[in-house]
Amino acid sequence: MSRCFVRLQIVLAVLLCINISSPSAEQNKTSLPSPVLDQVRAKNKPWRFVVFGDTRDSKKNTETGISPFLGQLAKKIADEKPALVIHVGDLANGFHTDKSSPMHGKYHKMFQNWKSAIKPIYNFDTRKGIPIYVVRGNHEDGSLITNNYLKDAYLVEIAPYMPQNGPEKEKGLTYTVQYNQATFIALDEYSIKEFGILRGLIDLPWLNKQLDRRTPFMFVFGHVPAYKVSDEKGGPFPDLYSYPKHRDAFWGSLGRAGVQMYFCGHVHFYCRVTKDDIQQVLIGNGGANLVDFNPKNVDPAVKLDFPTSERKSPIGEVSYVLFTVDENAKTVHAVQMVWNEGAQTWVSGDQFAAHASY
């Protein structure tokens, strides 16, 4: 027997032993001892994400259907170099135009204008850039009831670019995204209707299944607030708090899952409240017409965090919130960045934090 043949037999035997005795890659994922997992986590550097919304034009005779400030806002957000970006709805004017507007009824064109302005963040043509995750606002659905032409335009122009892992009838509208140790759940609040007409409900069974897959950081976002922070003029129906039983079940689900924050917009100012250790962060000043804030309009069941006194919204104020997640420290820190029209510069506003649920 030649030495080469013997060597070949030895090599084959060793390889066979390795194949039999070594766990598969999938097994390794689930059987790593905690010290090894800790070392893997230690390599995770802090990462960022941004939330903003309500970027429609304030004028009904709009030339584009989007805020004229959106391009500048998108560039500033991109400069933060976040891992991902969230938009809480009301991308464009949608139904909110008059006949003098060249955009009147041109829903596809409005969404195309929005995608063009957002290119510093993400290029929808090349599908390259910082991932941006969007939910519909009422201006993507309809005034009093669903406008099917408006919804269909959204389903063509925006929804196909979103994750398609939501309920069967809400593909591209409701979905889940996971990044590192964080889960982001996007909720469409216009698909499920009471009596087949009234909007403002969510798919709770589907949501509860997603919440069961707990991660240390859990964030949920939709367009409308769960708890009232304005009068009817500032925050018109639909909303979650008009269905208190449904809203309470929703908030209870968030609490049991360890959700830290619920992001929303709809009302055109910035406001943060806390209920049952969950922060509702309303970021509705992305360029739409601003409304004043009065603490008297805030639901007494919540703790008002910011602002704490009556506030007239300055002309031209636009803001977004920058979040920094530190998985090693198990914290998330946030700072509101505000455009000061008078000084023509960005300044910091509200600042807050939360901890991982485990």
Q: What is the mean pLDDT of residues 31-43?
A: 38
Task: Count CB neighbours of 263 within 10 A.
Answer: 25
Mean of the pLDDT values across residues 82-111?
Answer: 98
Does the structure show a pLDDT above 60 at 25? no
Listed residue (96, 95, 108) closest to 147, CA to CA: 95
Please tell me the distance from the alpha carbon of residue 268 to that of residue 265, in angstroms, as a whole number: 7
Res 187: pLDDT: 98
pLDDT over 60 (residue 236): yes
Residue 36 has pLDDT above 80, yes or no: no
Nearest partner of 43 among 151, 181, 149, judged by Cα: 181
Distances (CA, A) of 117 to 68, 114, 259: 9, 5, 32
Residue 91's Cβ-side half-sphere holds a number of Cα atoms within 13 Å equal to 28
Mean pLDDT of 177-205: 90
Distance from C-alpha of 27 to C-alpha of 30, rounded to nearest angstrom: 5
Residue 234 pLDDT? 67
**32-36, 330-334, 337-341: lowest mean pLDDT where?**
32-36
Confidence category of residue 238, pLDDT binned at 50, 70, 90: confident
- Which of 75-79, 158-162, 189-193, 263-267 has the weakest average pLDDT? 189-193
Write down the pLDDT at residue 43: 58
CATH for 44-355 is: 3.60.21.10
Judge whether residue 31 has pLDDT over 90.
no
Give the residue with greater pLDDT, 192 vs 244: 244
Measured at the CA of 95, the angle between CA 126 and CA 175, to 5 degrees, comes to 50
Confidence (pLDDT) at 30: 32
Among 74, 271, 86, which residue's Cα sits nearest to residue 183? 86
pLDDT over 70 (residue 41): no
pLDDT higher for 266 or 234? 266
- 276-299 confidence digits (pLDDT tens): 999 999 999 999 999 999 999 999
Read off the pLDDT of each residue in 42-52 and give the average, rounded to a whole number: 87
- Of the listed ranges 85-99, 235-249, 339-353, the least confidently predicted one is 235-249
User: Quick one: pLDDT band at residue 309, thresholds 50, 70, 90?
Assistant: very high
Average pLDDT value over all residues in the chain:
88
The pTM (predicted TM-score) of the whole model is: 0.87
pLDDT digits (tens, 9 = 90+) for 114-137: 999 999 999 999 999 999 999 999
Confidence band, pLDDT 50/70/90 cuts, at residue 318: very high
- Split at pLDDT 50, 70, 90, the class of 33 is very low
- The residues, ordered by sequence, that sit 6+ positions from 64 with a Cβ below 8 Å of its Cβ are 57, 103, 110, 113
Choose among 263, 331, 320, 257: nearest CA to 44.
Answer: 331
Average pLDDT for residues 87-96, to the nearest whole number?
97
